[in-house]
């Protein structure tokens, strides 16, 4: 009788490249492939350890001298909408939510292009064509939904979020929206509605990606109560944003080998336990 032993995922590191969040810095990512029948469990486990998904890859920052990027999530039970957020919710009462399987459409891509050209014309996704957009949406080995928001009166698609369903929450992989409706604060509304989605499904968290102190692009995440950040291997309630440093230091992060050794796999054992 042949027995197949579980194979630990292999981890790799990208070459340094310019950081998209903090000017003058270089970023590096630790990543692994997300594939096979254990993909959902691996994504659930590594998301709790600060990883994010991009298509069939899981990654997290592993910069040599910088630890500014902090994975952020909202604890739904601790969230209380601010006055401004309540106004945003009411302002978008005319939107209808529809969650579908991860299929890309021409209407989605047209909205995506308008969003990029207005908000991120010089970003890394600016040249993404329709085939690459379809890959971003459709290449997922786990439970993923495309959450669309349409105007009830006009029927127009005004916002989209690619959303993963985890065992302890929903993860907002990527969202985009109509840039011609700035007064509606659609980015904030999408997050507020994902808090409702989590509540409706009895899930405790909404994962937002990374919060970066010192980066104006990421400042909006700190406006949500109940925010938690992943620091030194554990989740903690967000303190005042100014308490978190974005300063460079040569001892900011452990060596890559030590980081990999301390990753816990879905069975609860650290990766180091699988060596030998």
Domain boundaries, the chain: 11-68+246-274, 73-243
Give residue 255's pLDDT. 84
Mean pLDDT by 10 residues, the chain (276 residues): 57 92 91 93 96 96 90 98 98 97 97 89 75 96 97 97 98 97 96 98 97 85 95 92 79 82 79 43
Q: Count Cβ atoms below 10 Å from residue 6 Cβ, excluding itself.
A: 9
Among 152, 224, 154, smallest CA distance to 193 is for: 224
Give residue 120's pLDDT. 67
Sign (positive/negative) of CA torsion 128, 129, 130, 135? negative
Give residue 191's pLDDT. 98
Give residue 167's pLDDT. 97
Give residue 3's pLDDT. 39
Q: How far is CA 11 from CA 45, 60, 253, 256, in A?
A: 15, 11, 17, 10
Number of C-alpha atoms within 13 angstroms, CB side, residue 70? 31
3-class secondary structure per residue, 248-273: CCCCCCCCHHHHHHCCECCCCCEHHH
Contacts (Cβ under 8 Å, ≥6 apart) of 104: 130, 133, 134, 136, 137, 138
Give residue 275's pLDDT. 35
pTM: 0.91
Tokens of 245: 């440093």
Show the DSSP H helices in the chain as ranges.
39-47, 83-91, 106-119, 130-138, 186-200, 256-261
CATH superfamily of the 73-243 domain: Gcn5-related N-acetyltransferase (GNAT) (3.40.630.30)
Tokens of 18: 């310019």
């Amino acid at each position: 009788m042949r027995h197949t032993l579980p194979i630990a995922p292999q981890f790799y590191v990208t070459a340094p490249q310019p950081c998209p969040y903090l000017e003058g810095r270089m970023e590096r990512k630790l990543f692994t492939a997300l594939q096979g029948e254990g993909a959902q469990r691996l994504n659930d486990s590594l998301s709790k350890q600060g990883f994010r998904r991009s298509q069939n890859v899981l990654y997290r920052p592993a910069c040599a001298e910088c630890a500014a990027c902090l994975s952020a999530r909202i604890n739904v039970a601790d969230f209380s909408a601010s006055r401004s957020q309540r106004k945003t919710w009411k302002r978008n009462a005319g939107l209808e939510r529809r969650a579908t399987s991860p299929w890309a459409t021409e209407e989605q891509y047209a909205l995506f292009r308008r969003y990029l050209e207005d908000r991120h014309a010089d970003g890394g996704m600016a040249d993404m064509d329709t085939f690459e957009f379809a890959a971003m949406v459709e290449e997922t080995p786990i439970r993923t939904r495309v959450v669309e928001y349409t105007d009830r009166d006009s029927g127009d698609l005004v916002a989209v979020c690619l959303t993963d369903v985890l065992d302890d929450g929903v993860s907002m992989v990527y969202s985009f929206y109509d840039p011609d409706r700035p007064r509606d604060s659609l980015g904030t509304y999408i997050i507020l509605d994902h808090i409702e989605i989590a509540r409706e499904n009895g899930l405790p968290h909404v994962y937002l990606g990374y919060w970066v102190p010192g980066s104006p692009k990421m400042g909006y995440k700190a406006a949500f109560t109940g925010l938690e950040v992943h620091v030194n291997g554990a989740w903690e309630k967000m303190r005042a944003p100014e308490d978190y440093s974005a300063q460079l230091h040569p001892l900011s992060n452990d060596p890559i080998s030590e980081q990999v050794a301390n990753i816990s796999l879905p069975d609860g054992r650290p990766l180091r336990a699988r060596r030998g």
